[in-house]
Amino acid sequence: MTLLFIGDWFRALTSVEQVFWGISLTFSVLFVIQFVVSLFGFDFDADVEAELGDGGSGGMDFDFSLLSVRSIVAFFTFFGWTGVLMLKGGSSLLAVLVGSGLSGIFAMLIVAYMLYLFTKFNQSGTIDLEQALFQKGEVYLTIPGGKEGMGKVQVQIGQNKREMRAITEGSSIPNGAPIRVIEVLEDNILIVEAIQPLGKTEI
C-alpha cells in the first residue's frame, strides 16, 4: 500500500521535479552508505582527484582532492535537495539550476577542504617520517616522472598505513604500482622509486 502511494505521488510530480527528487534521494542514500562504511575504516574515494598546486610561495598549501567520491556525492546531494526546495517555492527552472549548482559546488568545496585538513592532520604531529625510509608501499595517485609533479602513495609508517604526498626522479609511476621510499623531504613529502614487478628480470 505504501509503495502504491509513493508511486502515485511520484507520478504526480512534473518531469523536472521527478529529476530533482530522484537525484536527491539517490545521492542521500549514497551519502548515508558512505558515512556508515567510513565508520568501519574503509575508504572508497576514487582516484579521480584534481591536484590544486601550491598557493604560491609562503602561501597556504591547497593540495587537496577536489574531485573524489565524497565530494561528488556531496555535490549531487545538495544539488538535488536545493532544487527540490526551490521548485517547491515556485522558483523558475533557470533559478533552480543556478541555485542548485552553487549549493552543490559549495558542498563539494567544503567536503574537499575537510578531507584536506584530515589528511594534513594524519601527516603531522608525532609521526616520525624517518620510519618511512626504505619502506615499500603502493601508489594511490599517479606520480609524474622527473619530479615534474606530485602524486600520492600509501606507506606503512609505524603501526599505521598512511597516505603521503610523493615525487619520483624516474619515469611516471601509475596507480597501484609498488614503490619504495628512498628519501624523506621537508613538508612530509617522500621521494620514491618504482619496484620492479615480481618475475620480471632486467635485461
The pLDDT tens digits of the residues spanning 37-85 come to 766 655 545 334 434 444 433 333 444 456 678 888 999 999 999 999 9
How far apart CA 36 and CA 40 sit, in angstroms, is 7
Specify the residue for cell string 602524486: 151
How far apart CA 107 and CA 112 sit, in angstroms, is 9
pLDDT of residue 179: 94
Pairing label, strands 151-157, 178-184:
unpaired
Contact 132, 157 (CB under 8 A): yes
Q: Which residues contact 133 (CB under 8 A, 6 or more apart)?
A: 181, 182, 183, 184
| φ and ψ of 63, to 5 deg | -85, 80
* CA separation, residue 99 to residues 75, 106, 150 (Å): 12, 11, 35
pLDDT of residue 197: 58
| φ and ψ of 202, to 5 deg | -75, 150
Q: Other C-beta atoms within 10 Å of 63: how many?
A: 18
pLDDT of residue 78: 95
What is the separation, in whole angstroms, between the first and last Cα of the chain? 71
Helix (H, G, I), strand (E, B) or coil at 202: coil
Contact 67, 48 (CB under 8 A): yes
Q: Is 62 exposed, middle or buried (0-12, 13-18, 19+ CB in 10 A)?
A: middle
Rg (CA), the chain: 22
Low pLDDT (below 70) residues in the chain? 1-5, 38-67, 119-128, 197-203
Full set of structural domains in the chain with CATH? 2-123 (no CATH), 129-194 (2.40.50.140)
